[in-house]
Structure 1
Amino acid sequence: MTLLGNRLSPCPLLLSGAMTPPTTPPSRAFSNSFDVVIAGGGVIGSAVAYFLAAHPNFDGRICVVERDPSYQNGATGRSAGSIRQQFSTIENIRMSQFGITFLKTLGKTLEVDGERPDVQLHEGGYLFLASEAGLETLHANHAAQTAEGAPVILLDREGLAARFPWLNLEGLAAGCFGTAEEGWFDPFALLQAFRRKAVALGVTYLADEVVGIVRRNGKVTGVTLGADERLDCGWLVNASGIRARDVARMAGIDNLPVHPRKRQVFVFDCRERLSGCPLIIDPSGLYVRPEGNGYICGISPGPDEPDPDCDDLEVDHSLFEERLWPLLAARVPAFESIKPTGAWAGHYDLNSFDANAVLGPHPDLPNFLFANGFSGHGLQQSPAVGRALAEVIVDGGYSSLDLSRFGYERIAAQRPIAEKNVV
């Protein structure tokens, strides 16, 4: 194998414009009383703010508290920016179906002052590869996905060879390919679009941090900010990403199983361009996809590998050189000759209980809403989550898509949801 470059230079973010400051600066000119306070202004918090402000039956006041209004270190902008239908859990499939529909019409929906956002959606598809050992799971997942109308096809070895001739089939039994409604997009553009539209609808964004929660008679009545101010509120949404567990503890909830876990993304060029390359998920856990004229790749730790809580953004270049590069070259022979061009690190808010989102009200604190533990799926699920929590606040429950299965109660009852397609 030939390595065309000898180091990976740090690359804080691959997607252009990801470090652009927000278009509307936060303001502190506000009353200290809000109907809804959202702790965290990333893509989840901003999606909740938008859908709530846009709800025809809501006329209250909303405040989003975001500690880093530049978003330079947040999970959203450092995401690999992908969306897929290929889950095993019905609710996850349906959330992504709404997500892709929203992304396709986002320009019109989130237009502000005649400017239509563009998240550069590319429907390149996902290709989940399976060994003989994983074939039964692949078939079961495919059946669940197609039952929900997802455009996903099964390919045997011959089908894989015909469609992806540059793929090494050694150790593979089959693959599952999304022919449409899966792919990748600019994550920071989605965040900016949600945020800008929310502000245009009257949402207040405050550059601060929730450091305390006030409870009275079984409800949240307010929050304390780092600037030593208090905001009274009727609802509090915990959209704090990797700090979700800390915010929950402020409310007296000690067992939210959400942890900050570092994930690294590596960028490289290849001499040979792969025709029709989708986002590939290898049985080893490796993922790789095109990005511009190059490629990005990464891997999550296996079940028996260390994955400690971590909030730093340091890149371990040896992960690419010693592990990812050999895996890449083994699956795609053209990747034997590559030129590493960058890398960055971001975070998952990992739900260590079952790697699925925790959504909705706490059973003993009904105006405290969870929007946490997305475990790498938050970006693609943000439209569905925003709509769902807006319905909980305004309508008193889910009306468009029942997501009660993701409620906090399953954690207390020790009933995990087995999602088989966690990447």
Structure 2
Amino acid sequence: MGAMPERDSYDVVIVGGAIMGSAVAWFLTDLGFDGRILVLDRDMSFERSATATSTSCIRQQFSTELNVKISQFGAEFITNLRAFMGGDTRVPQLGIRSFGYLYLADTDGFADDLRDRAAVQVAAGAATRLLTPEQIHKLYPFYALDDIVLGSINTRGEGYFDSMAVFEWMRRQAIERGAEYVEDEVVGMDVAGGSVRSVALASGARIACGHVINAAGPRAGHVAAMAGIDLPVEPRKRMSWVFKAEAPLDRDLPLTIDPSGLHVRENGGGTYQAGGHFGDDPAVDFDDFEMDHGLWEAEVWPLLAARIPQFEAIKLTHSWVGHYEMNVFDHNAVLGPHPDVRNFLFINGFSGHGLQQAPAMGRGLAEWLCSGGYETLDLSGFGYDRLSSSAPQVEKAVI
């Protein structure tokens, strides 16, 4: 990586180098793309990227068949990472710690939603099971379940994985295959004749481009606006807390989605990770990573202890803030070309489930760039057109 781009023209310029941008870059090189690739990011440490601040988990419990299949490919990619990367012995053999996601419904209406989603998931090949409170208690006797009507869980290919290893090896191999990564910020775009002709960088450079990929995460709406495009993606603050239990649970804790808005999962070694949001969920400034330190005592700890009484005696060890790139239109991805600015492509708006979808989405966009269409999974339903035609593809299973 150099301080400035090596050239003044590239076939593909990717704005954002975290897991989405790196997935596109890696799959382009894997598919034999015959062109020059530049990946730009304002902070190559990625310290505050959505990739680095995520929960690092994958699930198949979505409300739409396509999102289930996308995450199924994600699980395949993770568990066969070395094989996908050509058998490179430097690449670790990864697995998924499949403790599953456990959705808890406290109303008949939410229980009906879980039944509807489970039918979609099972039809797509997921191993989702619906559980009565009695069945939940038998499997996980530590929960307080007096208010719970139904649960939903899948313990196959659903749980924790080393997301930073997947990201790092996508990035590293993309670089080794010729993709160029440069720390710089896109501050403007020259749009004429229905295409982006060039991007202007904070360093003062101007880069001509064949295609521009918006992989800017929570900043995606800001980047789209530079091309005169309205994209309803906003940064939303998400807080995470890691705590140690005085008396650890005697078995893995599924990533439990509580009706209160709290979620908590196994972290290993008697530690656990909690997250969520409570009350209003406004858009925030791109640089707002301020932690609400009072929330732990006022909301999070009481909710944890109410659902898992064994968590009355716990000690907070550390906490952090990250951002969702929330698509406020339908909580689903926006992927592919803009209908008017045809060389401006989206890979945005994942609303909290982007990390696990990066392999399938990166592959799909690389296929489109190489062949002009989606080849493995038909991802056309995520196109920008639905935003302007008010035809949402709603994903209900957003955490």
Q: TM-score per shorter chain, which class?
A: over 0.9
Give the whole-Å Cα distance in 2 for the aligned partners of 1:245 and 1:183: 30
2:390 is matched with 414
- Is 1:148 aligned with 2:148? no
* Deviates most, 104-113 or 143-152: 104-113
1:50 is matched with 26
2:9 is matched with 33
- Is 1:373 aligned with 2:346? no
Give the whole-Å Cα distance in 1 for the aligned partners of 2:337 and 2:278: 31
Instruction: Specify the SS of the correspondent of 1:366.
Output: coil
2:373 is matched with 397
Indicate conservation of the 8 Å contact 1:33/1:233, yes or no. Answer: yes
Give the whole-Å Cα distance in 2 for the aligned partners of 1:284 and 1:338: 20
Give the whole-Å Cα distance in 2 for the aligned partners of 1:99 and 1:26: 31
1:292 is matched with 268
Please report the TM-score for the alignment, with normalisation by the length of structure 1: 0.90
Cα displacement (A) at 1:157: 1.5
1:256 is matched with 231
Indicate conservation of the 8 Å contact 1:111/1:117, yes or no. Answer: no
2:34 is matched with 59
Cα displacement (A) at 1:410: 1.0
Cα displacement (A) at 1:395: 1.1
Give the whole-Å Cα distance in 2 for the aligned partners of 1:258 and 1:396: 25
2:64 is matched with 89
Instruction: Specify the SS of the correspondent of 2:324.
Output: strand
Alignment-mate amino acid for residue 7 of structure 2: S
Give the whole-Å Cα distance in 2 for the aligned partners of 1:276 and 1:412: 45
Give the whole-Å Cα distance in 2 for the aligned partners of 1:296 and 1:310: 25
Alignment-mate amino acid for residue 325 of structure 2: D
Q: How does 1:180-191 map to 2 (within 5 A)?
A: 180-191=156-167
Cα displacement (A) at 1:418: 2.2
2:52 is matched with 77
Cα displacement (A) at 1:370: 0.7
Instruction: Specify the SS of the correspondent of 1:349.
Output: strand
Give the whole-Å Cα distance in 2 for the aligned partners of 1:206 and 1:336: 48
Give the whole-Å Cα distance in 1 for the aligned partners of 2:300 and 2:372: 47
Instruction: Specify the SS of the correspondent of 2:147.
Output: coil
Partner of residue 265 from structure 1, selected from 220, 240, 244: 240
Q: How does 1:337-348 map to 2 (within 5 A)?
A: 337-348=313-324
Cα displacement (A) at 1:108: 3.0
Instruction: Specify the SS of the correspondent of 1:266.
Output: strand
Give the whole-Å Cα distance in 2 for the aligned partners of 1:113 and 1:298: 35
Cα displacement (A) at 1:301: 3.8
| Residues 1:199 and 1:306: Cα distance change in structure 2 (over 3 Å) | closer
Alignment-mate amino acid for residue 237 of structure 2: K
Instruction: Specify the SS of the correspondent of 2:387.
Output: helix
Cα displacement (A) at 1:390: 0.4
Q: How does 1:7-406 map to 2 (within 5 A)?
A: 25-26=1-2, 28=4, 30-56=6-32, 58-110=33-85, 114-117=89-92, 121-133=96-108, 134-253=110-229, 255-274=230-249, 275-293=251-269, 294-302=271-279, 305-311=280-286, 312-406=288-382
RMSD, aligned α-carbons: 1.5
Alignment-mate amino acid for residue 322 of structure 1: A
Give the whole-Å Cα distance in 1 for the aligned partners of 2:88 and 2:382: 37
Instruction: Specify the SS of the correspondent of 2:342.
Output: strand
| Residues 1:30 and 1:306: Cα distance change in structure 2 (over 3 Å) | closer
* Deviates most, 131-140 or 97-106: 131-140
What percentage of residue pairs aligned between the two structures are identical? 48
Give the whole-Å Cα distance in 1 for the aligned partners of 2:92 and 2:326: 29
Deviations 1:43-91 (A, max 9, x none): 00000000011113x2111110111011112111111111100000111
